[in-house]
Amino acid sequence: MTTTNSNEVDHTTNMLKDKHVEYIINLDKKEKSFEYWVTEHLRMNGLYWGLTALNLMNSIDKMNKQELIDWLLSCQKPNGGFGGNTHHDDHLLSTLSAIQILVQFDSLDKLDIDSVVNYIVKLQQEDGSFIGDQYGEVDTRFSFVAILALSLLGHLDKINQDKAVEFINKCKNFDGGYGSIPGAESHAGQIYTCVGALAILNRLDTIDIDNLGWWLCERQLPNGGLNGRPEKSSDVCYSWWVVSSLSTIDRLDWIDNDKLKTYILKCQDNETGGVADKPGDMPDVFHTFFGIAGLSLMGYFDLEHIDPVYALPTKLLDKLNINLPWNK
Ligand code: GRG
Ligand code: ZN
């Protein structure tokens, strides 16, 4: 399969790699525009999505590293956490994105690691769960984000890991999936976070693999795309949430990879570049990243390989000496 730029190319069978690179680079130039890294308060997440997508396409050097690191460091608050932009409150989600960006720029040494670790550790609750910020919402997303961030910083020992696992297991449902809090319905996004957290803590043994594998593969619809829970429509971002979970539990062959690839390709915008949530919709940086990440996980188009748990290029995790037993 070729990778090309031409408008004459059939985007339903080819990946428009060069156009996607241009699309992402241009987002950075459209400062103050509506699309500027999705929305202002999410800029740290947006930068992580865009940068990682470029990295998978071997084009990270197209970004201005020094300028971005200076901006990123200006988003750190006195309590150690990072805001989504310079004048925004700290949040666990933007703190993880900041760390993932620094890993990709090989610049973790720019960080006062102890202050960030302290910030994250304080967010763990008595029952092992994590809150995302000062407002106190509990969600398995925050368990995962805290565990992933501490793992990248080499300080997982600072939290109560057994309690963290206990809380995640309370969020497991009869169908083998996981929800955001105990009793909440299974959702592919929450499953990614719970499976990822358990993988990092070396507790994949607590997962009901067959049940979960079935639930996940039933997310594939006749159009090849995946949905996030029963009765919902397909969306490109589930090419990450579902495919990464299947990959971590070693059941990626339980869905039709070729049909999903075609669905993702149909969501490409062959004029502007970028990938949309559904065929014909407007592209955005979030779905561009998750579409490309899904293709990378499935091994298409000579993309840099992404790790299904850390959501970073595998080669960078090897450099950090992070153990990836699921990556056989
Ligand atoms: C490092 C990749 C990475 C992520 C950090 C924030 C986070 C951890 C994970 C988010 C997991 C999650 C809950 C994803 C789901 C997002 C989503 C599309 C929600 C909408 O779901 P529905 O079912 O609506 O309400 P749809 O659009 O599917 O019909
Ligand atoms: Zn989506």
Question: Would you state the pLDDT for residue 118?
Answer: 98
Q: What is the mean pLDDT of residues 297-320?
A: 97
Counting ligands in written order, which one lies closest to the CA of residue 312? 1
Q: Would you say residue 8 has pLDDT above 90? A: no
Confidence class for position 7, pLDDT limits 50, 70, 90: low
* Residues in Cβ contact with 113 at an 8 Å cutoff, skipping those fewer than 6 apart: 153, 155
| Residue 37 CB–ligand 1 contact under 6 Å | no
Q: Assign residue 77 a region: left if phi > 0, alpha if psi is -120 to 50, beta otherwise? A: beta
Q: What is the mean pLDDT of residues 74-101?
A: 96
134 alpha carbon – ligand 2 mean position (Å): 27
Ligand 1 atom closest to residue 232's alpha carbon, by position in its atom list: 29
What residue's CA is closest to ligand 1, atom 14? 189
103 alpha carbon – ligand 2 mean position (Å): 25
Q: Name the helix (H) or strand (E) containing 17.
A: helix 17-29
Q: What is the mean pLDDT of residues 168-173?
A: 98
Which is more confidently placed, 69 or 5?
69
What residue's CA is closest to ligand 1, atom 28? 228
Q: Which of 52, 151, 186, 187 to mutate to test the pocket of ligand 1 (most atoms within 8 A of CB)?
A: 187
Which is more confidently placed, 5 or 31?
31
Q: Are 98 and 72 a contacting pair, CB within 8 Å?
A: yes
Cβ burial 63-84 (10 Å sphere, 16+ → b, else e): beeeebbeebeebbeeebbbbb
Helices 285-298, 43-56: axis angle to 10 degrees equals 40
Q: Residue type at 223?
A: N
Total length of the chain? 328
What average pLDDT does the structure give for the chain?
Answer: 94
For residues 88 and 75, give the distance between their C-alpha atoms in angstroms, rounded to a whole number: 8
Confidence class for position 327, pLDDT limits 50, 70, 90: confident
The predicted-structure confidence for 221-260, as pLDDT tens digits, reads as follows 999 999 999 999 999 999 999 999 999 999 999 999 999 9
For residues 165 and 168, give the distance between their C-alpha atoms in angstroms, rounded to a whole number: 5
Q: Would you say residue 3 has pLDDT above 70? A: no
Q: Would you say residue 171 has pLDDT above 60? A: yes
| Residue 189 CB–ligand 1 contact under 6 Å | yes
Residues whose beta carbons lie less than 5 angstroms from ion ligand 2: 235, 237, 277
Q: Would you say residue 30 has pLDDT above 80? A: no
For residues 251 and 173, give the distance between their C-alpha atoms in angstroms, rounded to a whole number: 19
Q: Would you say residue 132 has pLDDT above 90? A: yes
Q: What is the mean pLDDT of residues 15-30?
A: 90
193 alpha carbon – ligand 1 mean position (Å): 10
Beta bridge partners of residue 124, listed in sequence order = 130
Confidence class for position 33, pLDDT limits 50, 70, 90: low
3-class secondary-structure state, position 315: helix
Q: Are 237 and 286 a contacting pair, CB within 8 Å?
A: yes
| Residue 232 CB–ligand 1 contact under 6 Å | yes
What residue's CA is closest to ligand 1, atom 16? 189
The predicted-structure confidence for 252-287, as pLDDT tens digits, reads as follows 999 999 999 999 999 999 999 999 999 999 999 999
For residues 242 and 185, give the distance between their C-alpha atoms in angstroms, rounded to a whole number: 16
| Residue 220 CB–ligand 1 contact under 6 Å | no
Question: Would you state the pLDDT for residue 51?
Answer: 96
Q: What percent of the chain has pLDDT over 70?
A: 93
**With a cut of 0.95, is the ipTM above it?**
yes
49 alpha carbon – ligand 1 mean position (Å): 14
Question: Would you state the pLDDT for residue 9?
Answer: 81
Question: Would you state the pLDDT for residue 35?
Answer: 52
